[in-house]
Amino acid sequence: MIANSLWITGPSRSGKTTRLVEIICDWTNKYSRHREPLYSSNYGHQGNLYANEKGILVLAANDDNRRVLADRIAIATQGRFPIRVKTALGFFQDEVILFWPLLLQELHLKGQFPVRLRPETEQELATKLWRTHLNETMIREVGVNEYRLVRRILDILQLAALAGVESEQIGEIMEQALPREGTVKFIPPELLSTLLQDWQNWCLQRGFLTYGIICGLYRHHLLPHPEYQQRLLQRYQGLVADDVGDYPAIARSLFTAFLQTGKPSIFTYNPDSNIRWGLGADPDYLEELAADCQVEILTPQPFSSLSPPLTSSILELLSDGMTLSTLPDNIQSIQTTSRSQLLRETAEHIIHHIKSGAIAPVEIAIIAPGLDAIARYTLMEILAKQNIPVQPINDQRPLIANPTIRGLLTLLALVYPGLGRLIDRDAVAEMLVVLSNVSKDIVDSEIADTSEPKPKPGIDPVRAGLIADNCFQPHPDTPRLLPITSFERWDRLGYAATTTYNAILAWIDNQRQQYAHKTLLNPIFLLDRAIQDFLWNGSNLPYQQLAALRELLETAQHYWEIDTRLRQYSPSENIRNDSTLSEFIQLLRRGTITANPYPVNPIGRNAKAITLASIFQYRSQRRVHRWHYWLDVGSPLWAKGGAATLFGAPFFLQHRLGNPWTTEDEARTESLRVQTIITDLLARVQERVYLCHSELAVNGQEQLGPLSPLVHACIGSTIGFES
């Protein structure tokens, strides 16, 4: 056992994080008042941590947990002590960037500030770099399209880096895990090694960082460096890591650096969590740290959830199907034939109980193994009609699904040359509707000299379609909007629509003139100007609109920052502006970029809303509710945990590096995952669970997933709202 270390373990909602915060408060109180060592005899042996050392490093499993934990610590300690709260990957990234000069010296790279590639940019650049190697024959043999094959290769690099595997070993591990005579086909190991080595060298030469490259640099070059280790341990006098079962294997190397030097270290672990298994986490490897720590075991809070009385009996029912003939009254079912009927009746059941005063919306969670757009829209639409708010967790919709974003992209194609093939009449009509809330200043300047009243500007969809049909002139290089008089019956459009269209046309012509005179810089400035003139108007936009616009500008800025860096290196990468803009628009249209809704804590009406989430999202955010509605309870996706496992993830677990993944391994893992999901969710519901089951899935197939025995064991149905 290593001195000054504590391993706090227990099931969900047993108070692990609360205990962790209490210890941090004790540390900071002793340090602030008495300048004593941080780690007192209450938690182990005395350490030699005094006032010349800086702060405490606190790590969380994901960014949502990080925000909540940071708030709890700040409130509890009243900000009396410097405490840095990060995710593991966020910490690795910050350290690599902070100590970039040290890495430049170590790797003999050209001095330049690093730029982190977003996943969508990483995908695009890697595809271009590897296109000569990944020919159509090879892609056909693997059985996936080019996009998915490139994504798999990049995921393998990240998984290997998270596992602490050197890039040179990846090909050997994949060859062991996927023998060439096996049923699962992949690219040859030697080619995989070549592609990954070329990609890493190409990125490092240009100062580009991805999560895979960041983790590899941190584990193999930065963390072992004596100067870095000295500075790391000088900056932090203690380490705290919450929910370490969701951390990658390389986090253990960081933890060991603290433990071996006697720095006080606290870890919490939930054996029923392991949410990120298959996404880079290695819970079994991290759990081995318990052998080096003083262990503190916490038990569940009595009567705080359904877990203590029900978990063991439900798991027995799922394992053999014969343990219980019925489930208790606090677990009931809503059963229908079709899924569309299930969604309607689930929403009506919720409405009935809210209207009756039995429960408040904020006390309800709807949880599904895979929350598709149909279910999300149907439930939100039905509940919204009854004035019941619903708040999806991390509802990351593609930016291109937003009409405002599509309108702005069409506007770009009308200003910059060479983009005519990317727009059509329908896109122009939509743009006119979106931009018809034109800036008051622009409209006023058009009608200031008239004696006519100033109507509210606007172009409705019908008039926008007429204008697009008659005033849009397609062209592959220079598509144009013609004057309104090009439409013979323009007088029938009305004064407001005509004035608004003229203002939009004048704005576009002005921007094109600036581009011709080279006074309009890059499209980022045009987008910002369009948002200011057409959308902002000095008023408060809806939050979802703001989130989408912010993400659009951030994505554009990132894209042109990468483009500028590329132009510095190779003449072949010195592509034209219109080509860059064309690729940017097509990137958005592929739907890979989404808008993250912030703030995390909803305000106003949404603060009292029903929670709508996938299993993965709900468990990741550690939510708790009085009532749960488990949607599609017969779906086989319950065995997947609500999140897709990355290709190759099992090959990079420390206890089985390179071992093939068999059907038996998959079945055993799915069975264990179902057990942890049930145990975790039952700990997060306080009073009642409704099992929402339709006999047929969306595709018409019968649903016989791993939770099906629970449906058959329920007492009756709740369709009639009798319970």
Domain boundary among 550, 568, 589: 589
Answer whether 402's CB lies under 8 Å from 548's CB. Answer: yes
CA–CA gap between residue 347 and residue 350 (Å, rounded): 5
In this prediction, residue 182 has a pLDDT band, given cuts at 50, 70 and 90, of low
List, as one string, the DSSP characters of 649-684.
GGGG-GGGTT----HHHHHHHHHHHHHHHHHHHHHT
188 and 40 part of one domain: no
232 and 288 in a single domain? The answer is: yes
Mean pLDDT, the chain, as a whole number? Answer: 85
**Distance of alpha carbon 107 from alpha carbon 127, whole angstroms:** 25
Q: What gap in Å lies between CA 703 and CA 716, rounded to an integer?
A: 19
Domain CATH number, residue 314: 3.40.50.300
Asked which of 539, 564, 589 is the last residue of a domain, the reply is: 589
Residue 451 pLDDT greater than 90, yes or no: no
Identify whether 104 is part of a domain. no
Task: Tell me: do 425 and 451 sit in the same domain.
Answer: yes
Are 618 and 688 found together in one domain?
yes
- Residue where the block lists tokens 């488990």: 630
Per-residue pLDDT tens digits for 639-649? 887 777 899 99
Residue of 508 and 578 predicted with greater confidence: 508
Closest Cα to residue 6, out of 251, 284, 249, 259?
Answer: 259
d(CA 76, CA 148): 46
Q: Which of 22-36, 99-113, 464-478, 487-501 has the lowest mean pLDDT?
A: 22-36
Q: How far is CA 666 from the centre of its chain?
A: 25
pLDDT of 457:
55
Residue carrying structure tokens 């949410």: 275
Q: Are the C-beta atoms of residues 677 and 274 closer than 8 Å to each other? A: no
Query: Would residue 109 count as lying in a domain?
Result: no
The per-residue pLDDT for 452 is 44
Using one digit for the tens of pLDDT, what is the confidence trace for 627-683? 999 999 999 899 887 777 899 999 999 999 989 998 899 999 999 999 999 999 999
User: Does pLDDT of 144 surpass 90?
Assistant: no
* Residue 106 belongs to a domain: no
Looking at the structure, tell me whether residues 618 and 475 fall in a common domain: no
52 in helix, strand or coil? coil
Among the listed ranges 392-401, 440-449, 474-483, 663-672, which one has the minimum average pLDDT value? 440-449
Return the CA Rg of the chain: 29
| Predicted local confidence at residue 544, as pLDDT | 76
| Structure tokens given for 574 | 């010195």
Q: Which residue has the tokens 């990355």?
A: 646
Instruction: Examine the domain organization and report whether 178 and 237 are in the same domain.
Output: no
Question: Residue 303, Cα to own-chain centre: how many angstroms?
Answer: 34
User: How far is the C-alpha of 121 from the C-alpha of 407, rounded, in Å?
Assistant: 23
* Ramachandran angles phi, psi of 32, nearest 5°: -70, -40
pLDDT at 46: 36
Count of domains forming the chain:
4
pLDDT(547) > 60: yes
207 has pLDDT over 90: yes
Residue 191 in domain: yes
pLDDT at 341: 93
Contacts of 692 (CB under 8 A, 6+ apart): 333, 334, 342, 346, 629, 630, 631, 632, 633
Tell me if 523 is assigned to some domain: yes
Whether 411 shows a pLDDT value over 50: the answer reads yes
Q: In whole angstroms, what is the distance from residue 478 CA to residue 452 CA?
A: 35
Higher pLDDT, 637 or 603: 637
Q: Which residue type sits at 278?
A: G
**Can you give the three-state secondary structure of 208-221, one letter per residue?**
EECHHHHHHHHHHH
Element (H, E) at 617: helix 615-620
Whether 164 has a pLDDT exceeding 90, the answer reads yes
* Separation between Cα atoms, residue 467 and residue 278, nearest integer Å: 52
What pLDDT is stored for residue 701 in this prediction?
80
Calculate helix-pair angle for 440-447, 495-516, nearest 10 degrees: 100
Backbone φ/ψ region at 463: left (φ over 0), alpha (ψ -120 to 50), beta? alpha
Positive or negative: CA dihedral 552, 558, 562, 563: positive
127 falls in which pLDDT band (50, 70, 90)? very high
Position 574 scores a pLDDT of: 46
Rounded CA separation 363/707 (Å): 24
- Name the token pair of 334: 């809503």
Q: Are residues 475 and 432 in the same domain?
A: yes
Question: Does residue 454 lie within any of the structural domains?
Answer: yes
Same domain, 445 and 564: yes
What would the two tokens of residue 612 be?
Answer: 């709508």
Res. 722 pLDDT band, cuts 50 70 90: very low
pLDDT band at 322 (very low <50, low <70, confident <90, very high): low
Q: Coil, strand or helix: which one is 473?
A: strand
pLDDT band at 323 (very low <50, low <70, confident <90, very high): low
Kindly state whether residue 108 falls inside one of the protein's structural domains: no
Residues 348 and 374 in one domain: yes
Q: Please tell me the distance from the alpha carbon of residue 392 to that of residue 612, in angstroms, as a whole number.
A: 4
Shared-domain flag, residues 407 and 448: yes
> Residue 352: which of 383, 392, 390, 308 has the closest Cα?
383
Mean pLDDT, residues 385-392: 92
Give the pLDDT confidence of 31-81 residue by residue, as tens digits.
Answer: 666 554 454 434 443 334 333 447 899 999 999 899 999 999 999 988 778
Given a contact cutoff of 8 angstroms between Cβ atoms, the answer to whether 459 and 501 are in contact is: yes
- pTM, two decimal places: 0.87
The confidence score (pLDDT) of residue 365 equals 96
- Does position 472 have pLDDT exceeding 50, yes or no? yes
Please count the residues of the chain: 723
* Same domain? 508 vs 636: no
Range scoring the smallest mean pLDDT among 28-42, 204-218, 424-438: 28-42
247 and 372 co-located in one domain: no
**DSSP label at 484?**
G
Query: Is the pLDDT score of 190 beyond 70?
Result: yes
74-102 per-position pLDDT tens digit: 999 887 788 999 999 999 999 999 999 99
* Angle at the Cα of 637 from the Cα atoms of 631 and 640, rounded to 5 degrees: 125
| % pLDDT > 90, the chain | 51
In the chain, the percentage of residues whose pLDDT exceeds 70 is 87
Helix (H) or strand (E) holding 466: helix 461-471
Structure confidence at residue 89 (pLDDT):
95
Q: Are 390 and 383 in contact (CB under 8 A)?
A: yes
Q: Determine the Cα angle at 52 with ends 50 and 55, to 5°.
A: 80
Q: Look at residue 442 and tell me whether its pLDDT is greater than 80.
A: no
Q: C-alpha 155: how far from its chain's center?
A: 15
Q: Is the pLDDT of residue 321 over 80?
A: no
- What does the pLDDT read at residue 455? 44
pLDDT band at 702 (very low <50, low <70, confident <90, very high): confident
Q: Which of 279, 297, 315 is the last residue of a domain?
A: 297
* Segment 268-279, tens digit of pLDDT: 999 888 899 989
Nearest to 343 by CA among 401, 398, 390: 390
**Residues β-bridged to residue 614:** 368
Among 243, 277, 153, 207, which residue's Cα sits nearest to residue 666? 277
Establish if 107 belongs to a structural domain: no
> Residue 617 sits in which domain range?
307-395+599-713
pLDDT in tens, 497-534: 888 999 999 999 999 998 888 877 788 999 999 998 88
pLDDT of residue 577: 57
Q: Select, from the ranges 34-38, 156-160, 175-179, the one with the highest average predicted confidence (pLDDT).
A: 156-160
Please give the pLDDT value at position 428. 94
